[in-house]
Amino acid sequence: MAPMSLCMTGGTSTLRLCGSAGRLSGSAAHWLPLRRLALSTWYGAGMKSVSATQGRTIASSAAAEPLARGGNEGAPAGSEQQQPQQHGAIEIVVGPMFAGKTTELLRRVASYEAAGLRVAVVKSNKDDRYCAANVVTHDGLRRPCFASPSLAAFKEAAGAAYSGFQVIAVDEAQFFPDLQEFCTHAADHEHKRVVLAGLDGDFQRQRFGQVLDLLPLADSVTKLSARCKFCAQEERHVAAVFSLRITADSRQEVVGGADVYAPVCRRHYVQLSQVREVPLSSSDEA
């Protein structure tokens, strides 16, 4: 095992794993706190590589915090003060129809705005079910938004205001033809946090748009489920993970609500997917 030494500089603990030969001085009672520090600093701050002659340094979370925030705390006196650098990220929320994807998107928007971040909300202009100028949930929550055919068009429409947005929230993400390109550039190079909500699969359980292309690039992925419509009619609560189209239209892109789609479990999807038109219950027709 490589020897360790604990250094204290300005209230910051640093645990050094030396590469050269040596002995670890101190009793077992001294070793236990060092071991605990090694574990806490390893998981809390990560490892910083230095030259082989210096060994490897694991900084404590107190030392790494300014770097994690992107600030310049601890900079030499008289140095130029700069604004903290925001780190970009991609958050994905997927699920079938009626799973609450837009509701979750708006919840995150409200959370980021409460934290003081500037947020832009954009949706595809193909979604005209409720209101062209608003993102609207199935239960009536709404939020003003940009409605655009592409994310490049949204960026152009936003103009100079675009650079001030720290968070971009994208609803109905599966409809945007430039989704992967825009999100990757916004997160990697513009340091924006992109939160998108959309369908990961269509009514045939096939990939829908470019949402799945972003999974390897995402910082977080949340898959929501709804309640199976037909299990509910049997007074059973079963999670719905698929969207069943209940009309005969075979096009992939058909915008609609409960008159076109039903959230279903695997059993009911397999049973009903071959049916061209699924009869609605009397409660649906009312």
- Which residue bears the tokens 């409200």? 110
User: Which one of 80, 172, 190, 285 is the catalytic residue?
Assistant: 172
Same domain? 107 vs 182: yes
| Mean pLDDT calculated for residue range 152-177 | 96
Give the count of domains, the chain: 3
Are residue 119 and residue 152 in the same domain, yes or no? yes
What residues have CB less than 8 Å from 230, skipping those under 6 apart?
Answer: 262, 264, 265, 268, 272
Same-domain check for residues 93 and 217: yes
Quote the pLDDT of residue 41: 36
Give a yes or no: residue 94 inside a domain: yes
Whether 224 contacts 101, CB under 8 Å = yes
Amino acid at 211: V
Q: What is the pLDDT of residue 252?
A: 78
- DSSP string computed for 201-250: B-TTS-B-TTTGGGGGG-SEEEE--EE-HHHHHTT---EE-EEEE-SS--
Whether residues 167 and 137 share a domain: the answer is yes
Pair of tokens at residue 94: 């997927």
Active site residue 113: no
**Are 195 and 215 in a shared domain?**
yes
Its domain, for residue 214, covers 89-224
List pLDDT tens digits, range 74-123: 444 444 444 455 689 999 999 999 999 999 999 999 999 999 999 999 99
Neighbours of 199 (CB within 10 A): 22
Query: Is the domain of 246 the same as that of 211?
Result: no
| pTM for the model | 0.65
